[in-house]
Amino acid sequence: MVEISQQIENDVSAYLVTITIMNAAVGIAAALAMWLTGVGDPILWGTIAFLLNYVPILGTALGVLIFLFAGLLTHDTLWQALLPAGLYFGFHLIEGETVTPMLLARRFTLNPVLVIISLVFWFWMWGIPGAILSMPMLAITKIICDRLQPLAAFGHFLEG
């Protein structure tokens, strides 16, 4: 039992550290992109991108809208105004579709429908902190279920 709890702890820790490092990378990339495109305040945009990346799907959509708004308020030409939002979306695509799935094993992948349901549910229950915590909590539940034999079927149900 102690060994199982140790394994669960290690898996959850590895998962959380991986997604946090990836979110930080997206935040740094977004900050650099905003600085290079002339929007300014890279720390603010980097922090926003880092935090929003914890919220699946809706976080990215909101981030694109915010960056689009910032671009439109800063630049006069349309392509320059669209550039920050486009770059942010590109970074998210590279991170979400290529790098993170490569770093995380298949057993850490989650069912997208359940990710959305969990997001809506925790946002309704706890607001913004709930939305940020929804994905880590779902992943923790899945990892625990995978490691405990009587809950393995539920763990399989949570898998993507």
Q: Which residues bind other proteins (CB under 8 A)?
A: 9, 12-14, 16-17, 20, 40-41, 43-44, 47, 69-70, 72-73, 78, 81, 111-113, 116, 125-126, 129-130, 133, 136-137, 140, 149-150, 152-153, 156-157
Specify the amino acid at residue 26: V
| Nearest CB to other proteins, comparing residues 107 and 156 | 156
Nearer of residues 87 and 132 to other proteins, judged by Cβ: 132
Which stretches within 53-99 are classed as H helix?
A: 58-74, 78-93
Q: Cα dihedral sign for 5, 16, 145, 105? A: negative
What tokens does 138 get?
């779902």
How far apart, in whole angstroms, are the C-alpha atoms of residue 132 and residue 88? 19
For residues 42 and 35, the answer to whether their CB atoms sit within 8 Å is yes
State the DSSP code for 96: I
Quote the least distance from Cβ 41 to other proteins, whole Å: 4
State how far the alpha carbon of 34 is from the alpha carbons of 12, 13, 75, in Å.
33, 31, 12
